Amino acid sequence: MDEFLKKKSVITFLTILFVVTCCSGVQKAEARIRRYKWEVKYELKSPDCYKKLTITINGRSPGPSIVAREGDTIVVELKNSLFTENVAIHWHGIRQIDTPWMDGTEGVTQCPILPADTFVYKFVVDRPGTYLYHAHYGMQREAGLYGSIRVLLNEGESEPFQYDYDRSIILNDWYHKSTHELSLGLSSIPFAWVNEPQSILIHGRGKFNCNTVGTTTNLCNTSNPECAPYAITVVPGKTYRLRIGSLTALSALSFEIEGHNMTVVEADGHNVDPFVVKNLFIYSGETYSVLVTADQDPSRNYWASAKVVSRNSSTPNGLAIFNYYPNHPRRDPPTVPPPGPHWDDVAPRLAQSYAIRARPGYIHPPPLKSDRTIVMLNTQNEVGGYRRWSVNNVSFNLPHTPYLIAYKHNLLHAFDQRQPPDGYDFVRYNISAPPPNPNATISNATYRLEFNTTIDVVLQNANTMNVNNSETHPWHLHGHDFWVLGYGVGKFDVGKDSEEFNLVDPIMKNTVAVHPFGWTALRFRANNPGVWAFHCHIESHFFMGMGVVFEEGVERVGELPSSIMGCGDTKGFYTP
């Protein structure tokens, strides 16, 4: 090689090195590997001014955001530094195509990660959009273990809407009691309900009234900077894409920014035919992108507010500051925060649900017919004195050996091999009254779906154990998106109501609300080999049995990694 070529190749090498190392945040057309090193541990945090043992990632709650491009591979090296507690993290909205063992659902797709262990999650984010991650083990999510995932379009591609800046905001509700104590109450006789949360957090910050705590303790400190309100700083005239996700343990929320309209453009990773709202209703497990233009008087700040709806909650609204630059981000707006909609005004929530349609030109068309319809009656029950939630009178619990491993390795004894029912007594069951016989079966049985078939699920809400009461349940499906074919009030009529399904422009989502005394119909293709949870995203409801599991094409699943094992029937040696 002559000197010139040598030099040239050195320069080329250095240039490549520069691009790879210095500019790795910048666009690149090819899929990349994005590596994260996370340590999960307890920290004493005061997100709402009240000091609480919080599960953090690298010292933070919410944890670090994952930002990637479509097709990238995410590698999270997760060290569990809890002392005696296991952990598992679910990548909410990521379908885990070809990697069903990376779904992070304890008992379904993996054994829990033991203290001091490091588990490597590795999966592809195959689709742009706004997603979440959170603990999927016991009720650890509500201890603070959650964060956001933002998957951008490939370089050169563009969204069908315009904005200047992109921001992620997670909403949450916050309890002062430990998850251990809350879990204990839910699984005790007499039943002790978790009750309403103490605070609503906007991106990990809220404000608890410290006066209600005894002054002898130093547990609560209103001037702690950790609970200074979150500031969404905006430049006057600019348009912001706010990616709003909710990971509440319990609460349905209405989010608004005082004096500003929001245009909804994305839901759970899919483009929405844009519509304008003043309040965005958001249920646990959902994500929305809204566009907000900083078009108001720039000499002041504005309140951003999150209010509990669908429950008669005494929890004060969560408040953040919509901060017009260069005003000080801590300067309170001169106004009283907006009170938000009335908690039991269902109409606007239904209206929003109906309004969410796929953006023309971005529709993934649904199959026109389904191969199987499963109607799932959601009831509150009492089994052996324990308060539970059930689907078609089956209250879910997890087996010792995760389903994915049990199915793949034919460990038939690991769980009940009978399938739960595809419906309930449509004729006689009265959804408007408490269950006449609140008894249910507690079972770990699963639904086996024929691979590549089309499945309709109709979630049928009903009255709880209390008269004239029906709750809102956001149901989340792992491993898939589904088309939202329709909503209705009252009892779903298989013959009639399915004729009215929206097959024209249904949105695709991974989480959808079932409104009080109503039904929600969804359709999906059972085309992702694996075992997938489908459950109410209210932490305590799933804990109390409100979920099911689907198996599809498990024979097509590749070899399972030994790292997901160690529980149930999987205690033994492996040869790496």
Q: Of 176 and 359, which CB lies nearer to a second copy in the complex structure?
A: 176
Measured from the CB of residue 413, what is the shortest distance to a second copy in angstroms?
10
**Measured from the CB atom, is 99 or 183 closer to a second copy?**
183
SS3 (DSSP) at 144: coil
In the complex with a second copy, the residue whose CB is nearer, 97 or 114, is 114
Query: In this complex, which beta carbon is closest to a second copy, that of residue 130 or of residue 199?
Result: 199
Report the residue number, 87 or 265, with the smaller CB distance to a second copy. Answer: 87
Contact 543, 468 (CB under 8 A): no
Task: Kindly state the smallest distance separating residue 567's Cβ from a second copy, in Å.
Answer: 5
User: Measured from the CB of residue 58, what is the shortest distance to a second copy in angstroms?
Assistant: 15
Burial 143-178 (b: 16+ CB within 10 A, else e): bbbbbbbbbbeeeeeebebebeeebbbbbbbbbbee
Virtual CA dihedral for 408, 414, 416, 419, nearest 10 degrees? -10
Residue with Cβ nearer a second copy (220 or 232): 220
Q: Residues 6 or more apart from 567 whose CB is under 8 A from it? A: 111, 112, 400, 401, 402
How near is the Cβ of 179 to a second copy at its closest, in Å? 7
Would you tell me which residues interact with a second copy (CB under 8 A)?
A: 41-44, 53, 82-87, 111-112, 114-117, 137-140, 178-181, 183-184, 212-217, 398, 400, 409, 562-574
CB of 93 to a second copy, least distance (A): 24
Residue 80 or 254 with smaller CB distance to a second copy: 80
> In Å, how far are 7, 14, 20, 43, 128 from 476, measured between CA atoms?
57, 47, 38, 29, 19
CA distances from 410 to 5, 105, 406, 417, 450 (A): 60, 20, 6, 11, 17
Minimum separation from the CB atom of position 217 to a second copy (A) = 6
The least CB distance from residue 400 to a second copy, in Å, is 6
For residue 338, the 8-state DSSP code is P
3-state SS string for 240-300: EEEEEEECCCCCEEEEEECCECEEEEEECCEEEEEEEECEEEECCCCEEEEEEECCCCCCC
